[in-house]
Amino acid sequence: MTEDELIAELEKDPFQPFRLHMVSGKVFDVLSSNVAHPLTNSLLILRNPILGTRRAEGYDVIAYENIERIEQLDIGKAPPKKRRPA
């Protein structure tokens, strides 16, 4: 995974929540663009940010090379409408 690929995900408009799958098997959910901050060789992710403030319970720093893939999350999207058989 590269810094440019992650920045592209964070700058999507509208933002689409995503899950980072690590080579270790761990996952990290990025539910808002303001909880993940790109660094030179890693990504800083805030843990449990407190809404309406700039505070969080903690953070994780993840090296880009340890990210295996990105999975788009369907949070906040309306479910697809079912079609009636004719």
Confidence of residue 81 (pLDDT cuts 50, 70, 90): low
Q: Is 60 exposed, middle or buried (0-12, 13-18, 19+ CB in 10 A)?
A: middle
Q: What average pLDDT score do residues 8-21 get?
A: 93
Contact 74, 16 (CB under 8 A): no
CATH of 3-72, one of 1.20.58, 2.60.40, 2.30.30, 3.30.70: 2.30.30
pLDDT digit string (tens) for 19-65? Answer: 999 999 999 999 988 899 999 999 999 998 888 787 899 999 999 99
In angstroms, the CA 62 to CA 39 distance is 10
Strands (E), 9-83: 18-22, 27-30, 36-38, 42-49, 56-63, 67-72
